[in-house]
A and B are shown apart, each in its own frame.
Chain A
Amino acid sequence: MTAATRPAPAGATGSPVDLTRRSLLRRRRLTNRVVTSAIALAPLIALVPLGLVTYTVISKGFAVMSSAFLSSDVTFSSRRLGGVGPAIQGTLLITALAALIAIPLGVFGAIYLNEYGKQNRLARVIRTTSDVMTGVPSIVMGLFIYVSWVLLFDAQSGLAAALALACLMLPVVIRSSEEMLRLVPDELRQASLALGARKWRTTVTVVLPAAISGITSGSLLAIARAAGETAPIVLVIGLVAKPEWNLLQPNVALPQLIYSNASSPFPIAQDRAWGAALTLIVIVLVTTIIARFVANRYAIKER
Chain B
Amino acid sequence: MKILTETQTAPPAETRTSLTSKGGGPRADRLFRSMALAAGLLVLAILALILITTTRQAWPALSDQGLSFLTSREWNPPAGKFGALAFIYGTGVVSLISLILSVPISIGIALFMTELAPRRLRGPAVTVIDLLAAVPSVVFGLWGILVVAPALVPIYRWFNDVFGGIPVLGKLFGSPVGGGRSFMTAGIILAIMITPIIISISREVFATVPSADKEAAYALGATRWEMIRGAVFPHSFGGLVGAVMLGLGRAMGETIAVALTIGAAVQVTPNIFAGGEAMPAVIVRQWGESSGMHTAALVGLGVVLFAITVVVNLIARLVVNRAEIRMKGAAS
Cross-chain contact of A200 among B32, B49, B192 (Cβ < 8 A): B32
Once the chains are docked, how many angstroms separate the CA of A272 from the CA of B105? Answer: 34
A28-B223 in contact (CB<8A): yes
B112 touches A140 (CB 8 A): no
> In chain A between 112 and 157, which residues have their CB closer than 8 angstroms to a CB of chain B?
112-113, 115-117, 122-123, 125-126, 128-141, 143-144, 146-148, 151
Q: In the complex the two chains form, is A229's CB within 8 Å of B136's CB?
A: yes
Q: Is the CB of A274 within 8 A of B19?
A: no
Q: Which A residues lie within 8 Å of B316 (CB)?
A: 135
Instruction: Determine whether the beta carbon of A126 is less than 8 Å from that of B134.
Output: no
Encode contact with B along A162-198: 1 for CB under 8 Å, 0 otherwise. 0000010011001000000000000000000000111
> Is A277 interfacial (CB-CB < 8 Å)?
yes
CB within 8 Å of B: which A17-41 residues: 19, 24, 28-29, 31-32, 35-36, 38-41
The answer to whether B98 has its CB under 8 Å from any CB of chain A is no
Question: Which of A35, A45, A125, A230 is in CB contact (< 8 Å) with B137?
Answer: A230
Give A135 to B251 CA distance when docked, in angstroms: 10
Given A24-B223, A132-B310, A106–B253 Cβ distance below 8 Å? no
A247 close to chain B: CB less than 8 A: no
The reply on A249 being an interface residue by CB < 8 A is no
Contact B43 A130 (CB under 8 A): yes
Query: Number of residues in B with C-beta < 8 Å to the partner?
Result: 92
- Cβ-defined contact, A42 with B112, below 8 A: yes
- Determine the distance from Cα of A42 to Cα of B125 in the docked complex, in whole angstroms: 11
Q: A262's contact among B135, B141, B313, by CB below 8 Å, is which?
A: B141
Q: Which residues of B contact A126 (CB under 8 A)?
A: 40-41, 43-44
B152 → chain A, closest Cβ, in Å? Answer: 13
- CA–CA, A224 to B130, complex, Å? 12
A113 vs B33: C-alpha distance in the bound complex, in angstroms?
11
Which label, helix, strand, loop or mixed, suits the secondary structure of the A interface? helix
Residues of chain B contacted by A137 (CB below 8 angstroms): 252-255, 280, 305-306, 309
Give the chain A neighbours of B116 by CB distance below 8 A: 36, 39-40
Q: Could you say which residues of chain A place their CB within 8 Å of the CB of B162?
A: none
- Chain B residue nearest in CB terms to A224: B134
Measured between C-beta atoms, what is the minimum distance from B57 to chain A in Å?
A: 4
B306 vs chain A, min Cβ distance (A)? 5
Among A136, A138, A171, A197, the one with the most B-chain Cβ atoms within 10 Å of its Cβ is A136
Report whether B32 and A280 are in contact in the complex, using a CB–CB cutoff of 8 Å: no
Near A by CB (< 8 A), chain B positions 122-173 give 125, 128-132, 134-143, 145-147
Q: Which residues of A contact B136 (CB under 8 A)?
A: 227-230, 255, 280-281, 284
Is A133 touching B287 in the complex (CB atoms < 8 A)?
no
A71 located at the interface, meaning its Cβ lies under 8 Å from any Cβ of chain B in the complex:
no
Contacting residues, chain B, for A75 (C-beta < 8 A): none
Answer whether A200 and B28 are a contact pair too, CB < 8 Å, given A46-B105, A259-B141: yes
Q: Are A285 and B134 in contact (CB under 8 A)?
A: yes
Contact (A50, B132) CB under 8 Å given A45-B105, A170-B42, A262-B145: yes
Chain A residues, CB < 8 A from B100? none
- Distance of A303 Cα from B21 Cα, bound (Å): 36
Q: Are A140 and B253 in contact (CB under 8 A)?
A: yes
Is the CB–CB distance between A50 and B42 below 8 Å? no
Contact yes or no, B23 A198, CB < 8 A? yes
Contact residues in A for B131 (Cβ distance below 8 Å): 50, 288
Which chain A residues lie closer than 8 Å to B275 at the CB level?
A: none
Q: Is the interface of B mostly helix, strand, loop or mixed?
A: helix
Query: B177 at interface (Cβ–Cβ under 8 A)?
Result: no
| Whole-angstrom CA separation of A47 from B196 in the bound complex | 12
A112-B37, A126-B41 in contact; A139/B283 too (CB < 8 A)? yes
Q: Are A36 and B312 touching (Cβ within 8 A)?
A: no
CB of B43 within 8 A of CB of A109, answer: yes
Among listed A6-14, A51-59, A62-70, A82-90, interface-contacting one: A51-59
Q: B50 → chain A, closest Cβ, in Å? A: 5
Pair B135/A140 contact, Cβ less than 8 Å:
no
Taking the closest CB of chain A, its distance from the CB of B135, in whole angstroms, is 6
Chain A positions 231-264 with a Cβ under 8 Å from a chain B Cβ: 231, 234-235, 255, 258-259, 262-263
Cα(A146)–Cα(B49), bound, Å: 12
Whether A109 lies near B138 (C-beta < 8 A) is: no
Residues of B contacting A297 in the complex (Cβ-Cβ under 8 angstroms): none
- Annotate B256-272 by CB proximity to A: 1 below 8 A, 0 otherwise: 10011000000000000
Q: Is there contact, CB below 8 Å, between A196 and B142?
A: no
Q: Inside 8 A of B192's CB, which chain A residues have their CB?
A: 49
A284 neighbours in B (Cβ, 8 Å): 134-136
Closest to A274 in B: B142
The 8 Å CB contact of A135, one of B43, B226, B246, B259, is B246
Docked CA distance A225–B196 (Å): 13
B residues near A111, Cβ cutoff 8 Å: 36, 39
Nearest CB on B from A121, distance (A): 13
B111 CB within 8 Å of chain A: yes
- Are B280 and A231 interface neighbours, CB within 8 A? yes
* B78: interface (CB < 8 Å): no
Closest 6 CB pairs of A and B: A137-B253, A228-B136, A198-B23, A42-B108, A108-B39, A135-B313
Which residue numbers of B lie inside 8 Å of A, CB to CB? 19-20, 22-24, 26, 28-29, 31-33, 35-44, 46-47, 49-50, 53-54, 56-57, 104-105, 108-109, 111-113, 115-116, 125, 128-132, 134-143, 145-147, 192, 195, 221, 223-226, 228, 246, 249-250, 252-256, 259-260, 280, 283-284, 287, 298-299, 302, 305-306, 309-310, 312-314, 316-318
The 17 sampled A-B contact pairs (Cβ below 8 Å) are A35-B225, A40-B112, A43-B128, A46-B105, A49-B192, A52-B147, A109-B36, A117-B37, A126-B43, A136-B306, A139-B283, A197-B23, A200-B32, A201-B22, A229-B137, A230-B255, A259-B260
